[in-house]
Amino acid sequence: MTSAQHDDGHGHALAPPHTEEVADGVYAYVQPDGSWWINNTGFVVGTSGVLCIDTCATEARTRAFLETMDLVAGTGRRTLVNTHHHGDHTNGNCLLPYAAVIGHERCRDAVLSMGIMRPDGIFDPVDWGALEVAAPFVTFEHRLNVYVDDLLVELHHFGTAAHTTNDVVAWIPERKVLFTGDIVFNGGTPFVLMGSVSGAMWALNRLMEFDAEVLVPGHGAPCRREMIDTVGEYLRFVQETAAQTWAAGISPLEAARQIDLGPYSSLTDSERIVGNLHRAYAECAGARPGDPIDVPGAFADMVAYNGGRPLRCLA
């Protein structure tokens, strides 16, 4: 099997990645099934070059993405935007050696400090391939305009931690397409362990201010603005649950074991509830969005919630 044909754990092969032209010259590269380390990327095509949105977790997945992009767009100048520092969006940066790489200043800091992310032991084994650190070297704080020919692509950071401390969205007003990074998941459990519950809810409100007709989430199929509300409802559920269980002195792991996920039980990677509760508990105790917390401890609790087994990963 190739990386695009991994077994889903039930004897079925994952569907291969596919490319959708979501607007004129704007493409989403969608990798099923969007679970741990299987992200979406995208690209905007012009006559003078191509703007890429993120790379992939592994060498094989990134090379498959780049081959597809070359087939659609031809060879030429490349510019790369990283929506945040996580390895499923940045590990493959090194395979675009001549591209200008753009990201938030804290994205650059995190990529350089964490290196190539290979969280073996926490997740099912992955063939990461030959990867080297390639951090963004064009950085910004709040807003940066990038042009593909005359087509404006606005890069925004909302001034708060959300999925991480360094989330960037790419808004293409003329095409009404919004690349949300991992502020939005479609079909997967949202994840804010390294960011903020309250900050992510603030960021979702900001996303609603864009007049987007198509959202390309960090994971899952392209969708409409209604998905913003769906993610917000889940985060409110986390916030309200945490307020009750934190006050009762129940640990995040035990709280996760006790609560009924209800409509959210069908989302992939449901163990993220544990990490999300760790972050929500910290905020109940007065932590600010993005403040450091015990991330390794939270992942250990997610593994415990998963029956002591590594977390499912088919990257």
Ordered by where they begin, the domains of the chain are 3-233 (3.60.15.10)
Using pLDDT thresholds of 50, 70 and 90, give the confidence band for residue 120. confident
Higher pLDDT, 121 or 165: 165
**Residue 139: closest CA among 166, 90, 86, 103:** 103
- How many CB atoms lie under 10 A from the CB of residue 63? 16
H helices present in the chain, as ranges: 59-73, 87-90, 105-114, 197-208, 226-247, 252-258, 272-284, 295-305
Answer yes or no: is pLDDT of 3 > 50.
no
C-beta separation of 41 from 66 below 8 A = no
pTM: 0.95
b (16+ CB within 10 A) / e for 86-98: bbbbbbbbbbbee
Q: Using CA atoms, how far apart are residues 279 and 289, in angstroms rounded to an integer?
A: 9
CA–chain centroid gap for 156, Å, is 15
89 phi and psi, to 5 degrees? -115, -10
**pLDDT exceeds 80 at position 11:** no
What tens digit of pLDDT does each residue of 62-118 get?
999 999 999 999 988 999 999 999 999 999 999 999 999 999 999 999 999 999 988
